[in-house]
């Protein structure tokens, strides 16, 4: 699940995490679809985080990778959906492709890697919503959620409405563009639902799938496709129809009065940390200045602005001077394009 916006040196986020650790405050992160282990993007936050990792388990379904001694990560084997009820689950040839939505054979047979979604068996399982699990297990409210569950992403989101309304500030979700793949909800439906909950789309990456007439699409000679010893290792190509992808959403507290009322100082700092990690320092600075009279002292504003600028440059420069350079360059570009 790649996105190219990760900050390699998020100094402001690191400081917030360290400050939280000293005071006992934590980030609460949810990883829905953790069969391969907890999502790597969460590793940066682990020193001051609790992670709820969700991966359904069955005797034939791969169990999530876990370390029982790690008290920061709590694993749940629940089958997540939009309701607490029985629902048919499809176990596939490749366990990572298992889910509540069955592949459309007519369409998927046109793709080179069509065997991974072959159904080995199906059975009815008891589903749970995230909202019900948070309530029943007395879990802390979630700050950020990552979802990858083979077409069931909208179902998981609909089962998290209370968390989306009251606590979640960031979402990273896989999406499926066209229902033709497995009769699953489309990206348009996910986007419409999240916008109705006050979230805004910030970034996305797209995955392409060539048809089996050219299994890896157009060969790139620079990558040595024509050498006999070359072994392709990635199923996602640079050529082919766009079918799936990943999207990053944040709840913008400045966007509306209803959003603004949900954010106290702690939640603002968490969002600033997420913004810095994903390279949205402009949004982080905007938050600081918008809420400065309500939550932040002049000393804190100076501290966080300095850290945010040092996250994106190695030059010893203040925010004021960096802003002047940015504005000057913007005006030059604007005049050039007139």
**142 band by pLDDT with thresholds 50, 70 and 90:** very high
Rounded Cα distance between 2 and 204, Å, is 9
Contact 104, 182 (CB under 8 A): yes
* E-assigned strand segments in the chain: 27-32, 49-54, 73-76, 79-80, 86-92, 119-128, 144-147, 170-176, 199-209, 241-251
pLDDT digits (tens, 9 = 90+) for 226-271: 444 444 445 456 789 999 999 999 999 999 898 899 999 999 999 9
Give the pLDDT score at 1. 41
Residue 188 CA, chain-centre distance (Å), reads 17
273 lies in which domain range?
11-299
Stretch 211-237: mean pLDDT, rounded?
62
Give the pLDDT score at 61. 45
Inside any domain, residue 336:
no
Inside any domain, residue 242:
yes
- State the average pLDDT for the chain: 89
Inside any domain, residue 321:
no
Rounded Cα distance between 188 and 207, Å, is 16
* All residues at 6 or more sequence positions from 67 whose CB lies less than 8 Å from its CB, including other chains: 73
Inside any domain, residue 322:
no
Inside any domain, residue 6:
no
Give the pLDDT score at 27. 97
136's torsion region: left (phi>0), alpha (psi -120 to 50) or beta?
alpha
Location of structure tokens 């968490």: 270
Nearest to 29 by CA among 154, 172, 196, 176: 172
DSSP 8-state assignment for residue 47: G
DSSP for 51-63?
Answer: EEEE---BTTBPP
Give the pLDDT score at 269. 97
How many domains would you assign to the chain?
A: 1
Contact 186, 177 (CB under 8 A): yes
Rounded Cα distance between 276 and 284, Å, is 7
H helices, E strands: number in the chain: 12, 10
User: Is residue 182 pLDDT above 50, yes or no?
Assistant: yes
Walk across the sheet containing 119-128 and list its strands.
79-80, 119-128, 86-92
Contact 210, 237 (CB under 8 A): yes
Residue 7 CA, chain-centre distance (Å), reads 15
Stretch 70-76: mean pLDDT, rounded?
85
User: Is residue 149 pLDDT above 90, yes or no?
Assistant: yes
How many CB atoms within 10 Å of residue 235? 12
* pLDDT over 90 percentage in the chain: 71
Give the pLDDT score at 256. 87
Rounded Cα distance between 304 and 301, Å, is 5
Inside any domain, residue 108:
yes
What are the structure tokens assigned to 38, written together?
């907890």
Contact 93, 81 (CB under 8 A): no
* Lowest mean pLDDT across 61-75, 190-204, 300-314: 61-75
Inside any domain, residue 331:
no
User: Is residue 36 pLDDT above 70, yes or no?
Assistant: yes
Location of structure tokens 């050529």: 239
Inside any domain, residue 310:
no
């Amino acid at each position: 699940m790649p996105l190219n916006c990760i900050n390699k040196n998020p100094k402001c986020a690191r400081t917030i995490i360290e400050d939280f650790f000293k005071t006992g405050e934590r980030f609460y992160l949810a990883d829905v679809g953790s069969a391969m282990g907890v999502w790597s993007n969460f590793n940066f936050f682990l020193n001051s985080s609790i992670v709820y990792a969700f991966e359904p388990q069955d005797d034939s379904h791969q169990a999530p990778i876990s370390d029982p001694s790690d008290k920061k990560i709590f694993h749940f084997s629940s089958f997540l959906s939009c309701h607490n009820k029985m629902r048919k689950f499809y176990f596939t040839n490749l366990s990572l492709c298992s889910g509540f939505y069955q592949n459309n054979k007519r369409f998927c047979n046109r793709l080179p890697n069509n065997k991974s979604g072959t159904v080995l068996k199906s059975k009815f399982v008891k589903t749970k919503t995230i909202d019900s699990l948070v309530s029943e297990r007395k879990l802390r409210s979630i700050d950020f959620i990552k979802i990858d569950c083979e077409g069931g992403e909208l179902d998981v989101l609909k089962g998290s409405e209370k968390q989306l309304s009251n606590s979640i500030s960031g979402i990273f979700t896989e999406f499926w563009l066209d229902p033709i793949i497995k009769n699953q909800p489309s990206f348009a439906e996910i986007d419409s639902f999240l916008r109705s909950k006050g979230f805004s789309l910030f970034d996305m990456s797209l995955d392409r799938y060539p048809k089996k007439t050219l299994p890896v699409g157009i060969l790139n000679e620079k990558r040595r496709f024509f050498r006999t010893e070359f072994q392709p290792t990635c199923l996602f190509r640079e050529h082919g129809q766009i079918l799936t992808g990943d999207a990053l959403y944040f709840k913008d507290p400045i966007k509306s009065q209803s959003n603004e009322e949900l954010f106290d100082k702690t939640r603002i700092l968490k969002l600033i940390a997420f913004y810095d990690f994903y390279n949205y320092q402009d949004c982080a600075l905007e938050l600081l200045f918008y809420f400065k009279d309500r939550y932040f002292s002049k000393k804190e504003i100076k501290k966080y602005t300095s850290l945010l600028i040092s996250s994106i440059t190695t030059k010893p420069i203040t925010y004021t001077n960096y802003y002047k350079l940015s504005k000057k360059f913007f005006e030059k570009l604007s005049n050039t394009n007139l």
